[in-house]
Amino acid sequence: MSAIDVNAFQGTDAEAVVVPRERRVLGLAVSTWPKILAPLAIGVVMLGLWELVVRINHIPVFILPGPILIVQTLIKDWGTLSTSLWITLQITFMALIVAVALGVFISVLFSQSKWIELSFFPYAVILQVTPVVAIAPLIIIYVNDVRLALLICAWIVAFFPILSNTTLGLNSADHNLINLFQLYGASRGQVLRNLRLPSAMPYFLGGLRISGGLSLIGAIVAEFVAGTGGRASGLAYRILESGYQLQIPRMFAALLLISLTGIVIFLCLSLISHLCLRKWHESAIRREN
């Protein structure tokens, strides 16, 4: 290759993009603080009202406990509740991991053969549209190991968003880029690794965020149906048990834990999604105008 006059190519259209950094308070940008404080303020006001209504009207605790009592119960019963939380978490995460592994694997299979996709996708839909509450009793009858049965139920709920989103993503690669790969004689594996999988990433992560919450819901629903007793039981069983014993504050405490867990799962998966996409995907980038 001959040397060329580099000066001929000093593009006038080549301007660096400089993004000024925003001022930060306690490690967060100034503009993000209201987004945190506003919902927090609403929450505090609502909880205060709740406590006030309960106290003024002398509502008995077995009908509606106040938020302070619920937090006290959560601390007092932390031993049992944390054990149950741990069991529910195990089911949730195992279901999510299996859903991700199988979901990605099967969608890759789908993307490699239109026939496999055509033949199997309807069954994935059937699996999705059948309410898990309706099949859970059957699964619990057929599968001897209760934990495995719970895992299967949670997996059924969590699996579909991953499968359907990743399949859509794998098929959404830019057609011109596919042409380009073909032009350079890329193999199927090369197209998959270098083009289809990265294209599918935003879709997969969207599915993952939905599935994270769903696997918790699936685990809880299955526990309700299974209703196993003893010490090795999840949060749903604690709710059932507290209901029978009219331990309403404990019921609320367990409910609170489930909600918090769901929020934490969602936040973690959102963070993962943001970290994966922040460099290039529109969804993770602030609009520059």
Partner 1 sequence: MAPPPPPASPADSSREKPVIQLQQVSKRFSNGTLAVKDCNLAVERHSFVSLLGPSGCGKSTVLRMIAGLGEPSAGAIDWPSAQYDAAGKPIRDLGFVFQEPTLMPWATAIKNVMLPLKLAGVPKPETRSRAREALANVGLAGFENAYPRELSGGMKMRVSIARAIVTRPSVLLMDEPFAALDEITRFKLNNDLLELWRSHRFTVLFVTHSVFESVYLSQRIVVMAARPGRVMADITIDAPYPRDEAFRTSAVYSDFCRRVSHTLGEAIAA
Q: Which residues bind partner 1 (CB under 8 A)?
A: 1-6, 8-15, 17, 174, 176-177, 179-186, 190, 194-195, 198, 201, 279-282, 285
Can you list the alpha helix ranges (DSSP code H) found in 77-196?
Answer: 78-112, 114-129, 132-142, 146-170, 175-183, 188-191
Distance CA 20, CA 250 (A): 50
| Nearer Cβ to partner 1 (31/190) | 190
DSSP H helical ranges for 57-77: 67-76
What is the C-alpha separation between 96 and 158, in angstroms, rounded? 6
Q: Which is nearer to partner 1, 9 or 244 (CB)?
A: 9
Contact call for residues 232 and 53 (beta carbons, < 8 A): no
In the complex with partner 1, the residue whose CB is nearer, 126 or 183, is: 183
Give the nearer residue to partner 1 in terms of CB position, either 9 or 115: 9
Count of beta carbons in the 10 Å neighbourhood of residue 114? 10
Closest approach of partner 1 to the CB of residue 184, in Å = 5
Residue 182: CB minimum distance to partner 1, A: 6
Minimum gap (Å) between residue 195 Cβ and partner 1: 7
Helix (H) or strand (E) holding 253: helix 248-277
- Are 289 and 232 in contact by the 8 Å Cβ rule? The answer is no
Complex with partner 1: residue 68 or 180, whichever CB lies closer: 180
Least distance between partner 1 and beta carbon 155 (Å): 29
Provide the token pair at 14.
């080549």
CA distance 262 to 278: 24
Which of residues 62 and 280 has its CB atom nearest to partner 1 in the complex?
280
| Nearer residue to partner 1 within complex by CB, 19 or 129 | 19
Nearest distance, CB of residue 12 and partner 1, angstroms: 6
Shortest spacing between CB 105 and partner 1, in angstroms: 22
Q: Decide whether 55 or 278 has the Cβ nearer to partner 1.
A: 278
The minimum distance between CB 19 and partner 1, in angstroms, equals 9
CA 251/CA 62 separation, integer angstroms:
10
Cα separations (Å) of 172 from 68, 176, 197?
A: 51, 11, 10
* Terminal-to-terminal C-alpha distance of the chain: 43
Could you tell me the two tokens for 176? 């011109």
Burial class (CB in 10 A: 0-12, 13-18, 19+), 64: middle
- CB 178, min distance to partner 1, A: 10
Q: What are phi and psi of 58, to 5 degrees?
A: 50, 50
